[in-house]
Chains A and B, each alone.
Chain A
Amino acid sequence: MNQLAEAVGFGLVDAAVIALAAVGLSLQVSVTNFINFAYGDFMSFGAYVTYAANSAGLNFFPSVAVGAAGTGLLGVASNWVVFRPLMRRKSRTLILLICTVGLSFIVQNAIVMIWGPNAEHYSVTVGNALHLGPFLFTPGDLILIGVAFTLLLMLHIFMQNTKFGTALRATSNNDDLAQACGIDTGRVVMWTWAISGMLCAVAGVGLALETNSLRPTTGFNELFVVFGAIILGGIGRVYGAMIGALVIGILTEVTAMFISPVYSGALAFTVVIVVLLLRPQGLLPGRGRSA
C-alpha cells in the first residue's frame, strides 16, 4: 500500500510534466488539425536552450524563460517556413505529417550538432526527498508540480477570459467560420505555435530535471507518452489532455513499480492503440477528431 502511494506520487510528478506537453500539443492540434511529430524534439530544444542559458551564468528560472522564449520562436518559425505555405496550398494531412517528421529530424540532429550526443545535467539540485503523508517528493518535484499547475491555470484564464482566447477557441472550432467573422486566423495560428512551444519547453526542462539527464532524444522518447495523454483525453481537447496526462502518468509509474520498468513504455503505446481503436473520441464524452 505504501509502495502504491509512492508510485502514485511519482506518477503525479510525471503527470505534471506530461500535462504541460500534452496541453501544448493539444492546443496546436486543435487549431492546425494535424499531429506534430517534431513536438518531442521541441521539448528537447527548450531543455537544451535552458541548459545553455544556465551554463552561460544565468540563474535557473530566467534560463527556463529563455528556453521557453526560444522554443516559442522555433514554433513560430517552423509554422512560417514549413507549415503555413503547405496549409495555404491545402496539402493533405499525410503530407503535413511527413513534414513534421522531417522537422523532427532537423531539430533533433541540430541539437546533436550543437550540443553533442552525450547526456548533460542541469547544475541545480532537486533537494532531498521529503515524506509528505504517504508520498515521497523532492522540493524540486513540488516546485515542478506548482509551476505546471500555475501555467495551466494561467492558460485556462487566458483561454476563457480574454478576447484572444475566444478567437483561439473559435479558430479551433471552425477556422473558416472564424475567418468569416473577422478573426485573423493567421495570427491566431502563429500565437498558438508560440504558446505551444513555450509550454513544451517548460515540459522539456521538467522532463530533464525529473530524469536527471538531458539527451538529444529525451523529448522524442517522451513524445508517445504525450500522444497517449492527448489521445486518452480526446484529440484536440485541451482539458481532456490534462486528465489524460494524469491517467498516463500514474499508470506508467504504477506499472513500473509493480510489473517491470522495462515494459512501461510499451504500456503507454498499448494504451494509445487500444484507446484509438475502441474510443477514438477519447475518454470524455463528446465528439473527438480522430475518426
Chain B
Amino acid sequence: MIYFIADLLALGAINAIMAVGLNLQYGQAGILNFTYYTFVAIGAYVGAVTTMGHPPVPASEETFILQWSLPWPVALVLAGVVAGVLGLFMVLVVIRRLRSDYLAIVTVSLGFIVWDLITNYVPLFNGANGLFNIPYILNGATASETTYTMEVFGVAMVVLAACIWVVRSIFRSPYGRVLRAIREDEVVAASFGKSTTSSRVWAFVLGCVMAGLAGALLVFYVNAWNPQGFLAEESFILMAAIVIGGPGNYWGAVLGTFVFVEVLSEVERYLPNFGNGALVGAGRAVLIGIVLIAVVRFRPDGLIPERWLHWYRSPLRGGPGGEAGSQPQGGRRGRLGMPRLGQRGES
C-alpha cells in the first residue's frame, strides 16, 4: 500500500513537470504542441545512453550511441539541454510562417518522423526493442523498491519546484504578459513593438527543457524505455489533461495531469480486465474525450481558470479576473454580432 502511494506520487510528480512545461507552451504562449511527448522521449533516451555505459552483457545485443557513464545529475541536465536544443530547431523552422492550427499539424508530423527514425534506425537507440537495464540513481541498486520510489519522488519534487518557480516568475514578469498578449492577439502584440517570434520561441524551448528533465527522471525511475512509450496518444492525453485542468494556470495543469493521466491509468491497472481485453483502457480514453469536450463546452477556462492566479493584485481591479480576453466575447450572439431570433432558451 505504501509502495502504491509512493509510486503514484513519484509518477505524479514527474507528470507534473511535463504538465508545467506543456502549459508554458500552450497555456502561456498559445503554441499547440501535439508532440510534447517526443521531447520527453528524447530526454529519456539521452538520460539512458549517458548513464548506461557499455552494455553490461556483451551478448545482450543492445546497440546505442554514446554509451557514457556520467553521474545522473549531469545526465539529467544534459537531457534537458538536448531536448531544449531539438525544440529550438523545430520551433525555429515552423513558427514564423504558420497559422496556429497548421503549426499543430506540423508538430504531429515531426513527432511521427522522429518516432519512425528511432524505431527503424537500430544503432541510434536500439530501435523498436528499446533500452533496458538503465541504472538506478542514488542507492537504488541496493535499496528496497519503496525506498527507491520515495527517493525518486523527492528528486522529482525538487525539479518540479524549480520548474514551477520558473513559470511563476515568467507569469508575473513583463515577459509573461507579452506571451499572454501574443496568445490573445499576435497582431496587436506585434504592433506594440513586441517581438512575437522570439518570445514564443523561448517559451517553447523552455517547455521542451522541462520535458527533457521529466523524461530523464522517468527513465531513471522505470529503468527501461522503448518507442511504445511515446506514441502520439501520450501527447494528446497530456494536452487534454491541461485543457481540462485549466490552460494558463500551472496549478490547473498539475491537477488535470494528476487526475487524468495518473489516477485514471492506475485505476485502469487495478480494474479486472473484462470484456474484449481492451475495454478498460478504451473506456478511459473515451472518458477523457468526453470530459475534454464537456469542459471546453461548459467551462472553457478549465477547472482552475487562469484568472485565479491574479488574486494577488485583485484589490486594484475589483476581485479576481483582472486579465481581459480570457473569456470568449459575444457569447450568445449571431454571426453578425446581432442577437439571433427564434433561438431556444433566450427571448
Contact = CB atoms under 8 A, between A and B. Distances in A.
A93 B183 CA distance: 12
Contact of B328 (A90, A179, A269): A90
Given A86-B296, A103-B289, A180-B336, A117 B97 contact: no
B100 interface: yes
B240 A95 contact: no
Interface string A247-291: 000000000000000110110011011001100100000000011
A116 B286 contact: no
B315 interface: no
Contacts of B292: 98-99, 101-102, 105
Interface stretch (B60-68, B113-121, B206-214, B216-224): B113-121
B206 to A, nearest CB: 20
Interface in B1-51: 30, 32, 34
Interface in A221-258: 224, 227, 231, 235
Interface string A78-111: 0000100110111111110111011111101110
B329 A116 contact: no
Given A262-B120, A291-B97, A94 B329 contact: no
A112 B336 contact: no
B164 interface: no
B98 A291 contact: yes
A270 B113 contact: yes
Interface string B224-250: 000000000000100110010000000
Interface in B79-118: 93-94, 97-102, 104-106, 108-110, 112-113, 116-117
Contacts of A224: 105, 108-109, 112
A93 B98 CA distance: 13
A97 B106 contact: no
Interface stretch (B136-144, B251-259, B262-270, B273-281): B273-281
Contact of A99 (B34, B104, B281, B296): B296
A218 to B, nearest CB: 15
Contacts, number: 158
Contacts of B159: none
Contact of A105 (B116, B275, B278, B288): B288
Contacts of B329: 90
A35 interface: yes
B297 interface: yes
A113 interface: yes
Nearest to B96: A277
Contacts of B99: 93, 290-291
B275 A94 contact: no
A269 B110 contact: yes
A277 B97 contact: yes
Given A110-B286, A262-B120, A95 B108 contact: no
Contact of B336 (A102, A176, A231): A176
A175 interface: yes
Contacts of B154: none
B94 A94 contact: no
Tell me if B's interface is mostly helix, strand, loop or mixed: helix
B interface residue count range (under 10 / 10 to 19 / 20 to 34 / 35 or more): 35 or more
A82 B293 contact: yes
A159 to B, nearest CB: 23
A34 interface: yes
A272 B286 contact: no
Interface in B258-317: 275-279, 281-283, 285-286, 288-290, 292-293, 296-297, 300
B116 A265 contact: yes
A98 B100 contact: no
Nearest to B290: A106
Contacts of A272: 105-106, 109
Contact of B112 (A82, A110, A265): A265
A277 B293 contact: no
A213 to B, nearest CB: 17
Contacts of B110: 269, 273
Contacts of A93: 99-101
A86 B94 CA distance: 28
Give the interface centre of A104, A105, A117 by most chain B CB atoms within 10 Å: A105
B328 A91 contact: yes
6 contacts: A35-B101, A89-B330, A92-B328, A94-B101, A105-B288, A273-B94
Interface of A: 34-35, 82, 85-86, 88-95, 97-99, 101-106, 108-110, 112-113, 116-117, 175-176, 179-180, 185, 224, 227, 231, 235, 262-263, 265-266, 269-270, 272-273, 276-277, 280, 290-291
User: Which 7 residue pairs across A and B have the least CB separation, nearest first?
Assistant: A105-B289, A106-B289, A109-B282, A102-B292, A269-B109, A112-B282, A116-B276
Given A34-B101, A82-B297, A265-B112, 8 more contacts: A35-B102, A94-B30, A98-B240, A102-B289, A103-B289, A117-B277, A117-B278, A266-B113
